[in-house]
Amino acid sequence: MAPVMLPFPTRWGEDMPIRVLVVDDDEDFLWLIGLSLRGQNDIDVIGEAQDPEAGVALALQEKLDIVVMDLMMPRINGFEATRRIKQLRPDVKVLVVTSLFDDDAVRQEMYRCGADAVLGKQNIATALVPTLRWLQKAPASSKGAA
């Protein structure tokens, strides 16, 4: 019997799915994002969290590429959760999704906290997947945590 040869990427990340963690306290929105992402061949949802503390903990223990982070959540908000993730895992990219996207001060604060991109929730259906693909290929953020 001939050995089976499996394709092996030339470097980590090529031909590998984008590993995503979704953090949003709204159960319906969490389901919607998960549904949108699970239909993609090149995206693997490795976890979901409705609690920002749980999201930070998962981001620190799981092997992942990108966290999709809601901004407005109880206890700690997306600002603080993003800051914690970027301080401890600067290699992980954070995409913040918010209904406050049109607020320049909110966007600026998210970038100060280390967010790699900010996306309006109203654009999730059309822009989430392309934004994740763009982030995966983009160089690591030089912003880091504030």
Which residues touch 113 (CB under 8 Å, ≥6 apart)? 79, 80, 82, 83, 86, 145, 146
* 116 within a domain of the structure (yes/no): yes
Please tell me the total count of domains within the chain: 1
Portion of the chain with pLDDT greater than 70, in percent: 84
Of 8-22, 92-106, 120-134, the range with the lowest mean pLDDT is 8-22
Domain holding 41, by residue range, is 18-136
120 lies in a domain?
A: yes
15, two tokens:
């031909």
Mean pLDDT (the chain) is: 84
- Closest listed residue to residue 89, CA positions, set 52, 109, 64: 64
Q: What is the pLDDT of residue 14?
A: 55
69 located within any domain:
yes
Render pLDDT for 85-118 as a digit per residue (tens, 0 to 9).
Answer: 999 999 999 999 988 767 788 888 888 989 999 9
Is the pLDDT confidence value at 10 over 90? no
**Residue 11 belongs to some domain of the structure:** no
In a domain, 83, yes or no: yes
- Is 70 exceeded by the pLDDT of residue 144? no
Domain contains 68: yes
What's the rounded Cα separation, in Å, for the pair 92 and 131? 15
Instruction: Write the CB contacts of 74 (distance below 8 Å, at least 6 apart in sequence).
Output: 25, 51, 52
Q: At which residue do the structure tokens 């999730």 appear?
A: 124
Q: What is the CATH number of the domain that holds 91?
A: 3.40.50.2300
Whether 129 maps to a domain, the answer reads yes
State the average pLDDT over residues 40-59. 93
142 assigned to some structural domain: no
